[in-house]
């Protein structure tokens, strides 16, 4: 019995010695402040790739043979990738790239740490300040806070802000904006407190406006009507989200005005005129209407010192030529008769930039061929 057991043990030992023992291991650890990860694959010396299971954050791979390994990652859009090769808490390599190569021994135990960083920035503001809000994006990002607040290191995405309730105020409409790679955008929620008017109306008089009685408001309106021809003043606000855009893209424009006089202004019309061959309105703002190439807003009244504004999202034509296009904002109304027209209109210039479709080297080749080939032949080459 003892000799039989001895023979079995020797046979098992011989089998174990004859079988290669792979003890090396790799731990892939992805890190992101916004919990958005990439996909990866590892090429071992055997050549048979190991792939990630989707966008998994962490995975341990054991029983690996010794030899040369290559780790490749496909990062999330807009991310800067830093890969660190770590052994026993010691960083052996660090690269700002999507690939790293390294050699493993039979007993190596490495951690491949992948960190994603972003440069996007979002500012959330409110008038008056102190409004609660929620910032979200389709990729699962969700933040809450109280305006004003700034969020940094955000990935490119289409973000939405929902503002919360404030006592005595109407809640601003939700705002959606696209954050591009390494861009900065601002969400501004304007509350209307203490009186009834357009949803986009916001008060800078704060809670004091809510204490004004109906009779005193009527008196203010009458006073404004009688003196508007001499003291009525306003200043148009006109801001482009960015100064330049590409064909097929979008541009957000903020248009509004401030009542800089000491009395209430009534029955105002604000307009935004654009070139319909280059721009089109993606969605008509609530309370506005479009006639031809102009958007109109009717504003019943704006109290002294108050600001009114709205946002318009324009789509840029796919075939828009390179150059500049003008947008003109203008404020009008009988209450503004005699007011300085310089303050009642503003023209903004949007640059339309077209990226080269073929690349620099090919354009040089076409220029050279233009010297040698007839025009019809060259035209056929350009169309291909």
Q: What is the pLDDT of residue 377?
A: 42
Report whether 276 contacts 292 (CB < 8 A).
Answer: yes
Q: Evaluate if residue 378 carries a pLDDT over 90.
A: no
**How many CB atoms lie under 10 A from the CB of residue 42?**
19
Q: How far apart are CA 9 and CA 210, in angstroms?
A: 92
Q: Which residue has the higher pLDDT, 167 or 312?
A: 312
pLDDT in tens, 42-88: 999 998 899 998 888 999 999 999 999 999 999 988 889 999 999 98
Q: Which CATH code fits 234-353?
A: 2.60.40.10
Report whether 331 contacts 269 (CB < 8 A).
Answer: yes
Task: Give bridge partners of residue 103 from the DSSP assignment.
Answer: 68
Task: Give bridge partners of residue 238 from the DSSP assignment.
Answer: 255
The residue extents of the domains of the chain are 2-117, 234-353, 357-384
pLDDT in tens, 130-139: 889 999 988 7
Report whether 312 contacts 237 (CB < 8 A).
Answer: no
Label residue 129 exposed, middle or buried (CB < 10 Å: 0-12, 13-18, 19+): exposed
Q: Which residue has the higher pLDDT, 162 or 360?
A: 162
pLDDT in tens, 19-49: 455 678 999 999 988 888 999 999 999 988 9
Tell me how many degrees the CA angle 381-383-384 measures, rounded to the nearest 5: 70
Mean pLDDT for the stretch of residues 313-323: 91
Mean pLDDT for the stretch of residues 266-272: 91
pLDDT in tens, 342-376: 788 899 999 998 765 545 454 545 444 444 545 44
Mean pLDDT for the stretch of residues 231-236: 79
HSE at residue 162, side-chain half, CA atoms within 13 A, is: 8
pTM of the model: 0.42
Range 21-24, long-range pairs (CB < 8 A, 24+ positions): 21/106, 22/62, 22/63, 22/64, 22/65, 22/106, 23/63, 23/106, 23/107, 24/62, 24/63, 24/64, 24/65, 24/66, 24/104, 24/105, 24/106, 24/107, 24/108, 24/109
Q: Which of 18-32, 87-101, 118-132, 313-327 has the lowest mean pLDDT?
A: 18-32
Report whether 204 contacts 140 (CB < 8 A).
Answer: no
Contacts of 85 (CB under 8 A, 6+ apart): 91, 92, 93, 94, 100, 102, 110, 111, 112, 113
Q: How far apart are CA 39 and CA 30, in angstroms?
A: 10
Q: What is the pLDDT of residue 65?
A: 92
Q: Which CATH code fits 2-117?
A: 2.60.40
Same fold, 2-117 and 234-353: yes
Cα separations in angstroms, 282 against 35, 186, 309: 32, 20, 18
Query: Rounded mean pLDDT of the chain?
Result: 79
Closest CA to 251 of 178, 344, 331, 338: 178
């Amino acid at each position: 019995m003892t000799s039989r057991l001895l023979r079995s043990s020797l046979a098992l030992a011989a089998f174990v010695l004859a079988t290669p023992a792979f003890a090396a291991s790799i731990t892939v650890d992805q890190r992101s402040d916004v919990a958005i990860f990439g996909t990866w694959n590892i090429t071992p010396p055997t050549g048979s790739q190991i792939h990630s299971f989707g966008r998994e954050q962490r995975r341990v791979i054991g029983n690996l043979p010794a030899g040369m390994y290559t780790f490749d990652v496909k990062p999330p859009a807009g991310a800067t990738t830093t890969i660190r090769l770590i052994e026993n808490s010691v960083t052996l390599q660090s690269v700002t790239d999507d690939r790293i190569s390294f050699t493993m021994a039979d007993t190596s135990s490495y951690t491949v740490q992948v960190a994603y960083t972003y440069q996007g920035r979002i500012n959330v503001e409110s008038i008056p300040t102190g409004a609660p809000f929620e910032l979200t994006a389709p990729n699962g990002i969700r933040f809450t806070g109280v305006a004003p607040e700034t969020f940094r290191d955000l990935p490119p995405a289409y973000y939405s802000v929902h503002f919360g309730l404030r006592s005595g105020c109407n809640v601003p409409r939700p705002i959606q904006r696209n954050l591009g790679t390494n861009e900065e955008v601002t969400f501004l929620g304007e509350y209307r407190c203490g009186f009834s008017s357009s949803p986009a109306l916001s008060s800078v008089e704060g809670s004091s406006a809510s204490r004004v009685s109906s009779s005193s408001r009527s008196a203010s309106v009458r006073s404004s009507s009688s003196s508007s021809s001499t003291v009525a003043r306003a200043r148009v606000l006109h801001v482009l989200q960015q100064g330049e855009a590409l064909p097929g893209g979008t541009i957000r424009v903020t248009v509004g005005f401030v009542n800089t006089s000491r009395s209430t202004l009534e029955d105002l019309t604000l307009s935004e005129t654009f070139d319909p061959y280059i721009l089109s309105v993606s969605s008509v703002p609530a309370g506005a209407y479009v006639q031809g190439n102009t958007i109109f807003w009717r504003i019943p009244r704006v109290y002294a010192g108050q600001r009114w504004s709205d946002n318009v999202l324009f789509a840029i034509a796919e075939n828009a030529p390179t150059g500049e296009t003008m947008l003109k904002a203008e404020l009008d109304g009988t209450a503004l008769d005699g007011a300085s027209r310089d303050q009642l209109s503003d023209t903004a210039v949007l640059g339309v930039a077209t990226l080269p479709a073929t690349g620099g080297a090919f354009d040089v080749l076409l220029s050279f061929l233009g010297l040698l080939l007839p025009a019809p032949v060259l035209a056929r080459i350009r169309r291909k």
